[in-house]
Structure 1
């Protein structure tokens, strides 16, 4: 969307912002307030969180330590993760349990046979991807809590495990 079209759309939505004002936003010469962010996200058919989340190739945000993974930053920007040791532990515990469940599902499906070769090959690829994810979770888990609480996930299971 060009600057004039965006300016006209903002005006129609009740938020006046000149083309030069929009240009200043794009160049980082003007800060975006919450009202601007909300209406711009609406006009671009996306969410404010999507506009706040860094692009895939960018791994850091100004003011946020570089110690966080892009996945953590994305979840944080979407309100799905709190960047504290407790929040990170809970997130990675959940990811560990879900990943183990998925691995077990695909290993079981492969043991019992797939309906056709294409499914079998797809399941093997998914299983390989899940095992790579398991490796990433293991590395991050050790960084977050060297005692291994991420991997026994007792805290997670106490909070979210099946009710007996």
Structure 2
């Protein structure tokens, strides 16, 4: 039996997120591959235009030094380049049991994917949504009393509905994470 030597791990889904995000960021500022290559060389990260194309197609990996230089040149952040699409929850090496929002917040450095920190995150999100619900209910009450503002009533009604849905999501997620958390919220 012959032993095959395997070098490194194959590129994963996170590599594809990075590839897609780099291309989108580059195109959004109107930078072509040659210009990006020249600018990368100027900052000490020599990558040919074909190398950048391979990165954007997912055929070449990006090391962390390249990632930071690319993020800087593209006027974004390394976290933004690592972030999966808003509906994506899959990233390399991370359990798929997390919500897309939790993955997005984790990549952005706003939450750790631990039970305690997820509870903290969702309690904060629930508090914020609850505060906005109160604010928009108060604004609508002012409309009912004839105190019209510059913002149309429909805008406040839409914002109220959005924040009520957010409050419901946060409450539901808290119950999933810790069924005993809800009595301690109010």
Report the TM-score when normalising by structure 2. Answer: 0.74
Deviation at 1:4, TM superposition (A): 2.1
The answer for unaligned runs of 5 or more in structure 1 is: 155-164
CA–CA distance in structure 2, aligned partners of residues 4 and 40 of structure 1: 13
Instruction: Note the aligned Cα RMSD (angstroms).
Output: 1.9
Runs of 4+ in 1 over 4 A off after TM superposition: none
CA contact (8 A) 1:92 1:150 kept: no
Q: Does the C-alpha gap of structure 1 residues 99 and 9 become closer, same or farther in structure 2, counting only changes over 3 Å?
A: same
Deviation at 1:117, TM superposition (A): 8.2
SS at match of 2:76: coil
| Matched residue, 2:67 | 37
Between the two proteins, the alignment pairs up a number of residues equal to 153
Which one is further off, 17-26 or 68-77?
17-26
Deviation at 1:116, TM superposition (A): 4.6
Which one is further off, 65-74 or 77-86?
65-74
The superposition leaves residues 53-86 of structure 1 with CA deviations (integer Å, 9 ceiling, x where unpaired) of 1122433212211111111111111111110000
CA–CA distance in structure 1, aligned partners of residues 84 and 57 of structure 2: 15
Report the TM-score when normalising by structure 1. Answer: 0.84
- 1:152 pairs with 2:152: no
> Higher helix proportion, which one?
1
